[in-house]
Amino acid sequence: MSSPENQPQDAAVELNFNDTELTLGLPGAAKTGSKREFSHTLEASSTSAKSPAQKAQVVGWPPVRASRKSVMKKCKYVKVAVDGAPYLRKVDLEMYQSYDQLLSSLETMFTCLTIWNDLNQKNCERGKNNNGGEYVPTYEDKDGDWMMVGDVPWNMFVESCKRIRLMMSSEEATTGFGARRGSSE
């Protein structure tokens, strides 16, 4: 159950950070100024092109023809949002072979955030997302519909996923991923 003093803060978080695209680096990853510029270019390109939000890369860059794609390493970056977290992350779905791998990677990623939250004394109690319990993994597909992660074969998911959102379950939903009975908002 969220304490009253958290609610206004949560609201503030919603307002201020909904569209913030600050990317956190994994420990040890080099982040240079030019890289951030590149990320902004990515965002700027995607929004100005008004292309479907699935494009996690700059369209048509680097300029390599489709016929070469079969011999190149693929990459499919999608944004991952977690309800209540101020930052979005990006993952490359091509790096995983299964749902298990993806979800355990997400758990690791967002455990870091929980730690950050703890240090800043935000919301230490709730969230209990160390094992993905409170959070239901969902994704937006090519048609713009929000789906439960895990329903379709992995390859189909990689192909059709545009973005991922770990939703706080507001009722006692049981997912296949070890949900715990959590308090609702």
Partner 1 sequence: MPRIAYAFPDEVLEHVFSFIHSDQDRNAISLVCKSWYEIERWCRRSIFVGNCYAVSPVMVVKRFPKLRSISLKGKPHFADFNLVPEDWGGYACPWIEAMASAYPWLEEIRLKRMVLTDESLELISKSFKNFQVLVLSSCEGFSTDGLAAIAANCRNLRELDLRESEVEDLSGHWLSQFPDSFTSLVSLNISCLGSEVSTCALERLLAGCPNLQSLRLNRAVPLEKLVNLLGRSPNLVELGTGAYTSEMQPDVFSDLSRAFVGCKQLKSLSGFWDAMPYYLPAVYPISSRLTSLNLSYATTESPYLVKLVSECRNLQRLWVMDYIEDSGLEALAVSCKDLRELRVFPSDPFGLEPNVALTERGLVSVSEGCPELQSVLYFCRQMSNAALVTIARNRPNMTRFRLCIIEPRKPDYLTLQPLDAGFGAIVEHCKNLRRLSLSGLLTDRVFEYIGSYGKKLEMLSVAFAGDSDLGLHYVLSGCDNLRKLEVRDCPFGDKALLANAAKLETMRSLWMSSCNVSFGACKLLGQKMPRLNVEVIIDERGPPDSMPESCLVEKLYIYRTVAGPRMDMPGFVWRMEGDSALRVS
For partner 1, the closer of residues 34 and 121 by Cβ is 34
Task: Write out the DSSP string of 6-52.
Answer: HHHHHHHHHHHHTT----PPPTT----HHHHHHHHHHHHHHHHHT--
Select 42 or 166, whichever has its Cβ closest to partner 1: 42
* Distance in Å, CB of 136 to partner 1, minimum: 29
- Which residues of the shown chain bind partner 1 in the complex (CB under 8 A)? 34-35, 37-38, 41, 45, 48-51, 57-68, 70-75
Q: Please name the residue that has the structure tokens 């420990």.
A: 27
Shortest approach of partner 1 to residue 141 CB, angstroms? 20
Nearer to partner 1, 13 or 58 (CB): 58
Q: Which is nearer to partner 1, 61 or 146 (CB)?
A: 61
φ, ψ of residue 18 in degrees (nearest 5)? -50, -50
What does residue 23 show for φ and ψ, rounded to 5 degrees? -105, 130
By beta-carbon proximity to partner 1, the closer residue of 34 and 155 is: 34
CB of 166 to partner 1, least distance (A): 23
Q: Which segments within 28-111 are labelled E, that is strand?
A: 77-82, 89-92
User: Least Å distance between CB 20 and partner 1?
Assistant: 21
Distance CA 53, CA 47 (A): 8
Nearest 5°: CA angle at 55, between 54 and 57?
150
Shortest distance in whole angstroms from residue 92 CB to partner 1: 8
